[in-house]
Amino acid sequence: MEKRSAQKNQRRRRARERRMIAAALPVIALAVLTAALSSLWGGIHLREDAAPIPGGSGPALAVFRSDPAEYTEDQDPQPPAQDTDWNLTLVNKWNPLPEDYEVSLVEVPGGEKVDERIYDPLMEMLEDAKEGNQGQLPLVVSGYRTQETQQQLYDGKIAEYRAQGYSEAEAAEQAEQWVAVPGHSEHQLGFAVDINGATYDLYLWLQENSYKYGFIFRYPGNKTDITGTAEEVWHYRYVGVEAAAEMYEQGLCLEEYLGCA
């Protein structure tokens, strides 16, 4: 009787354990599911949070790698500007005109010629500059120059100094402050113009506004050591609006902007 009773108790205990496990199963399953969902939800949030950082690192990379627009900059680093951008070609005392340089010219009012690519911004600037020039269109008195023209100007300037009693070497040194050695003038690029105004006010207007049209006051008096050229308020050089604005805002000359100063 005792033995039977003990067996009965054991069966009851096992049945109770099975009921408990059965009752616990949905709770365990729910916990596992919640954990899984929570992990997935966390992942989604991480990506959303990371989304506004273009090119940012971390988990978002996997998502945005597939968008080429987001990664163009990282994948194709731009070569140095002076290697590709015609408008930033540097010609000065130390850098000659590129070999076999060719230019497509177009005539501006007054008969001078310039590179056709700078015609529109130049004319727009000169038109707007009327307000600083007593209502008159400023005149381009020197645009593109051939090697021969530059040679004549250079020889003429040396002759002027020789006539004043300078030695050949001194005359050349003086002349080169004002007229570039042939092959070293921006005028030979076709991107530079010497502008004549009705009054000096025009030059003040140009110094404050030319960058909006992509032109720079190329030889300011405070950069003579870097440009190698004495101040020329009349000489403007096209570099494009982006570069001109940056140079204007930061007070840089072309040599400084290109990192060759």
Catalytic positions, please?
Answer: 232
Tell me how far, at minimum, the Cβ of 234 lies from Zn ion, in Å.
7
State yes or no: residue 231 binds Zn ion (CB under 5 A).
Answer: no
Q: Please check whether residue 122 is in contact with residue 108, taking contact to mean a CB–CB distance below 8 angstroms.
A: yes
Select the residue interacting with Zn ion from 107, 128, 170, 194 (CB under 5 A).
194
Of 24-32, 58-66, 102-110, 234-242, the window that binds Zn ion (rule: CB under 5 A) is: 234-242
Region for 183 from its dihedrals, namely left if φ exceeds 0, alpha if ψ lies in -120 to 50, beta otherwise: left
Query: Which residues in 4-63 contact Zn ion (CB under 5 A)?
Result: none
Separation of alpha carbons 78 and 146, rounded Å: 33
The CA–CA distances, whole Å, from 197 to 58, 68, 126, 131, 212 equal 59, 50, 10, 11, 19
Q: How many residues bind Zn ion (CB under 5 A)?
A: 2
Tell me how far, at minimum, the Cβ of 98 lies from Zn ion, in Å.
19
CB nearer to Zn ion: give 60 or 143.
143
Separation of alpha carbons 12 and 6, rounded Å: 10
Tell me how far, at minimum, the Cβ of 192 lies from Zn ion, in Å.
5
State yes or no: residue 107 binds Zn ion (CB under 5 A).
Answer: no
Separation of alpha carbons 32 and 40, rounded Å: 12
Tell me how far, at minimum, the Cβ of 209 lies from Zn ion, in Å.
19
CB nearer to Zn ion: give 174 or 229.
229
Query: Which residues in 118-137 contact Zn ion (CB under 5 A)?
Result: none
Residue whose CB is nearest to Zn ion in the complex, by number: 235
CB nearer to Zn ion: give 60 or 158.
158
Which are the contacts of 114, defined by CB distance < 8 A and separation ≥ 6? 105, 106, 108, 122, 140, 143, 144, 190, 191, 193
Select the residue interacting with Zn ion from 150, 235, 236, 258 (CB under 5 A).
235
Separation of alpha carbons 147 and 235, rounded Å: 18
Separation of alpha carbons 229 and 136, rounded Å: 29
Residues that bind Zn ion (CB under 5 A): 194, 235
